[in-house]
Amino acid sequence: RKEVEQDPGPFNVPEGATVAFNCTYSNSASQSFFWYRQDCRKEPKLLMSVYSSGNEDGRFTAQLNRASQYISLLIRDSKLSDSATYLCVVNYGGSQGNLIFGKGTKLSVKP
């Protein structure tokens, strides 16, 4: 079983749609959780951290369920510029921590 698993893509949605991405992780020792965005042939960039209480940043809402080892990202009112690959990421934490990436889910927002 992979450490971080994501919904298979691609997701093709019209502008204005709401889209949800799901992710599960296998290691209960994971301490930090993130969503990264990666544009084609570019480096990953941090979209947002994910907390148990849930957090929102404009049109983006992230949720963490530690009991189910499940992470989600909701994008409301999709824009053409949201088209990218979204990577679910966990970190075991501390100075020896490293980022464990999911395979990514590709989103294409169409006019």
Partner 1 sequence: ETGVTQSPTHLIKTRGQQVTLRCSSQSGHNTVSWYQQALGQGPQFIFQYYREEENGRGNFPPRFSGLQFPNYSSELNVNALELDDSALYLCASSLEGNGYTFGSGTRLTVV
Q: Per CB under 8 A, does 108 bind partner 1?
A: no
To partner 1, the closest distance from the beta carbon of 61 in angstroms equals 22
SS3 of residue 2 by DSSP: coil
Q: DSSP string spanning 28-92?
A: TT--EEEEEEE-TTS--EEEEE--TT-EEETTEEEEEETTTTEEEEEE-S--GGG-EEEEEEEE-
Q: Per CB under 8 A, does 95 bind partner 1?
A: yes
List the one residue from 46, 70, 77, 80 that touches partner 1 (CB under 8 A).
46
List the one residue from 43, 53, 67, 68 that touches partner 1 (CB under 8 A).
43
Q: Tell me which residues touch partner 1 (CB under 8 A).
A: 4, 41-46, 87, 91, 93-104
